[in-house]
Structure 1
Amino acid sequence: MERFIDRFDQIDDKLERVMKQKNWLDGEQILDNQDLCLLLNVTKRTLQRYRMKGILPYFNIHGRNYYRASDVHKLIRERL
């Protein structure tokens, strides 16, 4: 029984590590709203304004907004 619990803990640790890894799409890092809010020190509402004004390109997967890291870097260099 103890071996079973140890194995379960190992699997749980691996799952946490995988979930903490950055997201990638077509070889490019992508960020979600939470990542971007922390990175830019802005609110979700500010990100919504950026999207509505076309300042920051985004795409939607299963109801969640994502941003390409290259687009975020471009925004930082040109606008902020």
Structure 2
Amino acid sequence: MDSADVCRALGISKRTLQTWRNNGRIPFSMLGGKVYFKESDIDELLQAGLKPKNK
């Protein structure tokens, strides 16, 4: 999943997603300068009914 997909799935802004990445609240990978997220990681967040906490 790319950043736009994750923002839509979690109902968050791109800036919030960036903050979570910076704080290590959500796992991600970078390929060719683009950020990707495992769908399974996002599904786990949604199934748990939890979103990573902002500081």
The two structures have a TM-score, normalised by structure 2, of 0.76
| Matched-pair contact (CA < 8 Å) for 1:32–1:67 | yes
| Matched-pair contact (CA < 8 Å) for 1:56–1:75 | no
Matched pairs, number: 50
Q: 1:43 aligns with which of 4, 13, 22?
A: 13
Matched, 1:55 2:20: no
Structure 1 residue 79: deviation in Å?
2.7
Bigger fraction of residues in helix:
1
Q: Find runs of 4+ consecutive structure 1 residues off by over 4 angstroms.
A: none
* Structure-to-structure mapping, 1:1-80, within 5 angstroms: 31-76=1-46, 77=48, 79-80=50-51
With a CA cutoff of 8 Å and minimum separation of 6, indicate the structure with the bigger relative contact order: 2
Structure 1 residue 70: deviation in Å?
1.1
Root mean square deviation, CA, Å: 1.4
Identity %: 34
d(CA) in 1 for partners of 2:22, 2:50: 16
The two structures have a TM-score, normalised by structure 1, of 0.56
Structure 1 residue 78: deviation in Å?
6.1
